[in-house]
Structure 1
Amino acid sequence: MANDRLRTAMLAVNLTVDDLAARVGVDPKTAARWISNERVPHRGTRHKILAVLGGREEDIWPSLASDSRPAPTESELVHLYPSRSAITGAGWEALLAGVQERMDVLVFSGAFLVEQYNFVPLVRAKAAAGVRFRLLVGDETALAVKQRGIEEGTPGGLEGRIQLMRRYLADVVELDGVEVRTHGEILYNSLYRFDDDLLVNGHAFGALAGQSPVMHLRRQPNGQMWQHYMKSFERTWTAGVPEKPQESV
């Protein structure tokens, strides 16, 4: 099984295998074996890798931790980004392309997915391959949406972007395996689930979502953080209003 944690950490700082090999001082073939998990770097080399990528040894090589069953609150956290915009395009593309079973999204707008990552064709292709999508976007008439726009300093702008996103999603709502709902809840976090990976984008008063930190979590047995945020998603999903093709905006 490939070392996805190492791969994700490299994507986060926009490094290729060749780049990492050059920074650490090894042959690219050796670095490739780290990704494929054929080989675990020696202790000294691991320290060099962490100096380049940041993070902790147990985050990238959890099997090396002294406790073979690390606390879920530690093992779940793959990476902490200072802002959503700090996640590279390659990082988003890897998560989107890697979805094989389920993708869940909870946002107000999320229009950047369409504008930057060709999201609608991806949904079509993935749904045809059996991937299930649950997409929760805001109701632009809700008080929580209007208040959030004012807090962001973009009164009216958020409502327009939600309308735009709903129009895009109207093109896929009729597909098997794709469900779209709207909500009017106060949104404390935007959530993006890609199978067993979850991005939690916190919201801060007076700041755009793209300016706020993001936690990259990976699902672990009895993982408390994963369960915490996915329970929030499920509650919002249950309260959401299904979009129907004939009612699409």
Structure 2
Amino acid sequence: MPNDRLRDAMLRNGFTPSAVAEQLGVDPKTVERWITQGRAPYPRYRHAIAALVKESESYLWPGAVPQERANRVAQSEVVQVYPRRAAVPDDLWRRLISGAQERVGILVYAGLFLPEQQPQLVATLKAKAATGTRVEILLGDPDSPEVAQRGADEGIGDAMAGKVRNVLAFYQRLRDVQGVNVHFHRTTLYNSIFRFDDEMLVNSHVFGFPAAHTPVLHLRRLAGGDLFDTYADSFDRVWESSLPAWQPAVAS
């Protein structure tokens, strides 16, 4: 069976079979067989290809990575566990935000703390977008039942919708910035996700507690692991069903 995932990942990253073969020091026909016949390369080649096309081994070759090893790699993707979001150092937030080159993703209901704690956030995101960084911000639709329910779960009622509107005011300066997209979602979130290239902070949601008081996982993506990719895929699924926060202006 052809390996369509490998073929697609190579095309998205501008690699031909010949280019991959040259990088790995193998015959181009070998690479063609990996694609057309679905043959799994030796582990050393899987590692190299996964790094080239920026995908995990487990995604490109499901079943090729033994489960025991996949479990070990997933554990290694956990850099740090913080007992509450308030324990995440400010300098870590700054490093992750400033260091992202390809993608910044923010998935929250409101996430008002972020622009409040990081006064340069909006200016930094604007500058990054100008250099080609993809910025995606997902906020809960303040008129949605999901936001109302989260407010009830935290015991703050309508204040949650107010937080969304407040944070939207911070992001207003990004409204017409090319490369920045701010969307509303109507999704029940079990985690807030903050992605910065191949690092991520995942803030769990716990009934009865504000997100500032619940645990955070600091993850770093590794080839062969699937923990980071699980949350990355969840982010993308929410994005697919979201809508722009600001409607385009209608010409009079």
Is the pair's TM-score, using the shorter chain for normalization, greater than 0.5? yes
Question: What aligned pairs does 1:212-231 form with structure 2 within 5 A after superposition?
Answer: 212-231=214-233
8 Å Cα contact 2:71-2:225 kept in structure 1: no
Q: Which runs of 5+ in 2 are unaligned?
A: 1-68
For 1:36, the equivalent position in structure 2 comes to: none
Distance 1:170 1:88 in 2: 27
Question: Is the contact made by 1:104 and 1:193 (CA closer than 8 Å) also made in structure 2?
Answer: yes
Deviation at 1:236, TM superposition (A): 0.4
Classify 1:69/1:140 alpha carbon distance in 2 versus 1 (closer, same or farther; 3 Å): closer
RMSD: 1.9
CA distance in 1, matches of 2:118, 2:143: 27
**1:151 Cα deviation after fit:** 1.0
How far off is 1:243 after superposition? 2.7
Contact 1:76 1:219 in 2 (8 A): yes
The residue identity in structure 1 corresponding to 2:236 is E
Aligned residues: 181
State the match for 2:158 in structure 1: 156
Task: Name the residue aligned to 1:120.
Answer: 122
Structure showing greater Rg: 2
Q: Does 1:242 align with 2:240?
A: no
Runs (4+) of structure 1 exceeding 6 A deviation are: none
| Equivalence for 2:149 | 147
Counterparts of 2:175 and 2:240 in 1: how far apart (Å)?
A: 17
Pairs within 5 Å for 1:150-229? 150-229=152-231
Q: Equivalents in 2 of 1:202, 1:173: separation in Å?
A: 28
Shift in CA distance, 154/75, structure 1 to aligned 2, threshold 3 Å: same
Partner of 2:138, secondary structure, is strand
The answer (yes or no) to whether the contact 2:183–2:245 under 8 Å persists in 1 is: yes
- Taking structure 2 as the reference length, what is the TM-score of the superposition? 0.68
Alignment partner, residue 76 of structure 1? 77
Q: Which residue of 2 aligns with 1:95?
A: 96
The answer as to whether partners of 2:142 and 2:161 remain within 8 angstroms in 1 is yes
| Identical amino acids, percent of aligned pairs | 38
Distance between the aligned counterparts of 1:93 and 1:220, measured in 2? 22
Any unmatched runs of 5+ in structure 1? 1-67
Do the aligned partners of residues 202 and 70 (structure 1) sit closer, same or farther apart at CA in structure 2, a change above 3 Å counting? closer
